Amino acid sequence: MGISRLGDYRKETVTAVLAPGTRASISAALTGVQELAEAFDYARLSTIRNDIARCRALLESIEDSPALEPSLTACMDETHRTTTHVVSQRAAEQRETAGLVTAVREAVAAVSQDTATFQSDVQRSTSRFEELASNGRVLDLQARLRSEVQTLKTSIALHQAASRRNNESLNSRIASLETQLRVARQESAIDALTGVANRGAFDKACREWMTSGLLRFSVLMIDVDDFKQINDTQGHLEGDRVLAAVGVALQKGARSNQDFVARIGGDEFAILARDLTLTAADSLFSRVVATLDAYRKEQASSLPHVTLSCGAAEFSAGDTIRSLMQRADEALYEAKRRCKHRVVTKSKPFLRDL
């Protein structure tokens, strides 16, 4: 029987007399129920207040002890039900709060890789969740939690969008830098005047060929005959034009994807020729000379007429760049000594292959 029904006993108990101390005990019990409901923001708080007020009014009218038992029973039943409902409601709200906090922690874990600034924002939001769960009033807690969760979701979305933009910008910048680096490396390996590889690139390629297990390749050292005379009589600009023309002739005359052309220094050039025997070196050199003559004709004979000399040496097991180049250079010197404009080969030493 609820407190709202205690008025049914009022007419029966108007002449009742309470035992000493009973009224105070009942009043204290009602006060405890009300304080419990208010402390936990019980959803039926207004109804409880009205019921307790009616119960207090009924207690004031009771004077007969025999008529008190039904009223006390009803009052205590309502006290028990109210206490049970309040505790149950509080437990449910605590479970819901704990679930929300757990969900937030999982969200935080999902973005744990984010930046320190974002982690700091999330930590502050998480701290607010925990503070609300422990100290907040239950009626306000859920609304405030929903607001905090929405704020956190918005923060995560904004941060992820910013991260995507930053990643896209960073990837674009990296791609640009990689392109610049690739171009710079290519340019650093090219002789600016002639457009062929420089000495550093030649040495690198030669080392790679030597260590790659390539069974056969040769080096052709090519020199412009009487180049000093061209510089002395026609000037260095004309000499540069000659060198550039030789570079073009070497690139066009060399075999595609088989030969590596480089300027060694001054008027000296070199060709690394894959799968080329010394007996075939003459044909490759002849093709280069023919290409140079054709290029001069394309320039309407504005270029000085020049001839080339060539010394060729074949790679041998145990060779170093220095030993291989030395043989080719000795062959070139011999070609110069033999009136120039020719190819001289120098065979690999027999003892080295033993």
Residues annotated as part of the active site? 267
User: Which residues are CB-contacts of 48 (< 8 A; sequence separation ≥ 6)?
Assistant: 33, 34, 37, 42, 82
Coil, strand or helix: which one is 14?
coil
**Residue 120 to residues 94, 124, 161, 245, Cα–Cα distance (Å):** 26, 6, 18, 66
Q: What is the spatial distance between Cα 117 and Cα 108, in angstroms, rounded to a whole number?
A: 13
Under a CB-based contact definition with an 8 Å cutoff, are residues 162 and 114 in contact?
no
CA separation for the pair 104, 102 (Å, rounded):
5
Q: What are phi and psi of 307, to 5 degrees?
A: -120, 160
Beta-carbon contacts of residue 106 (< 8 Å; ≥ 6 apart): none
CA quadruple 47, 49, 50, 53: dihedral, nearest 10: 160
